[in-house]
Amino acid sequence: MDKLVASAEAAADLAGAVIRPLFRSALLVEAKGDASPVTEADRGAERALREHIARHHPDHGVIGEEYGPDRADAEWVWVLDPIDGTRAFVTGRPLFGTLIALLHRGRPVLGLIDQPATGERWIGVEGRRTIFRGPFGGAIGCRPCPELSTAELASTSPDIFPPGQDAGFMALRRAVRRTSWGGDCYIYGLIALGLLDVVVDATMKPWDWAALVPVVEGAGGRVTDHAGRPLTLESEGDVLAVGDPALLPACTSLLSV
């Protein structure tokens, strides 16, 4: 596994070299089919990631946001989101990240969140303590928070919840101490640093969540769907992360409202 971790870090370095010169520069922004912005940084970074994987792991499969699946039925599959939080990227906010995950027979066993503008990086491996490196301090470890009334909740956007899920989220929001918005993958890194307690999102694709699972769980938290079930490639895209596993029953109960 150490060699795979080193390979993931090398891949993140290559993607960062593509992304950093384009951050806060004049970019041509197009519209995807789902109306989210896409830039030359997304595509160039994913090409760099795929080229690295093809060179060093030719028998592995790849699932990427920009260029789709390649041998997705392989035993080992890399799941890539070159820029998770493209809206933040194109508006100059450093609340985005490159996500690199490795699945073994469909289960996330390695996850990396890289913030190439700030130099922060989280590395999670199944069965190991998550590693964090960054210039601003911070120590890995989800904080104890057994009561929702004292919990800090975050979500990417209030608009991501489809009809039928928004009522449950609002019930959870009323139960916590405070709610903040925005951050995409970055807020999951903050859970692993003990700075947030709950993150709830919806309509997420495998490249949005696969890398987050080993990072949060390696810091002592849990990542599931809204019903508390493990995430799989067949999951519907609703994601719940808690820093203190004691919060999971209360969160899933409210999200089912």
Residues forming the annotated binding site for Mg(2+)? 65, 81, 83-84, 208
What pLDDT is recorded for position 38?
Answer: 75
Q: What is the CATH number of domain 2-133?
A: 3.30.540.10
pLDDT for 21 beyond 60: yes
Q: Where in the chain is the domain with CATH 3.40.190.80?
A: 148-255
What pLDDT is recorded for position 31?
Answer: 59
What pLDDT is recorded for position 171?
Answer: 94
What pLDDT is recorded for position 35?
Answer: 57
Neighbours of 250 (CB within 10 A): 19
What pLDDT is recorded for position 255?
Answer: 93
Contact (Cβ atoms closer than 8 angstroms) between residue 156 and residue 180: no
Residues forming the annotated binding site? 65, 81, 83-84, 208
Q: What phi-psi label fits residue 41: left (phi over 0), alpha (psi between -120 and 50 degrees) or beta?
A: alpha
The structure's pTM equals 0.94
pLDDT digits 0-9 by tens, 159-182: 888 887 788 999 999 999 999 999
- Residue of higher predicted confidence among 87 and 28: 87
pLDDT digits 0-9 by tens, 98-149: 999 999 999 999 999 999 999 999 999 999 999 999 999 889 999 999 999 9
What pLDDT is recorded for position 78?
Answer: 98
Q: Where in the chain is the domain with CATH 3.30.540.10?
A: 2-133
What pLDDT is recorded for position 163?
Answer: 82
CATH topology (fold) of 148-255: D-Maltodextrin-Binding Protein; domain 2 (3.40.190)
What pLDDT is recorded for position 30?
Answer: 65
Interatomic CA distance for residues 75 and 188, integer angstroms: 27
Report CA 18 to chain centroid distance, whole Å.
Answer: 20
What pLDDT is recorded for position 176?
Answer: 97
Average pLDDT over every residue of 43-63: 97
28: pLDDT confidence band, cut at 50, 70 and 90? low
What pLDDT is recorded for position 71?
Answer: 92
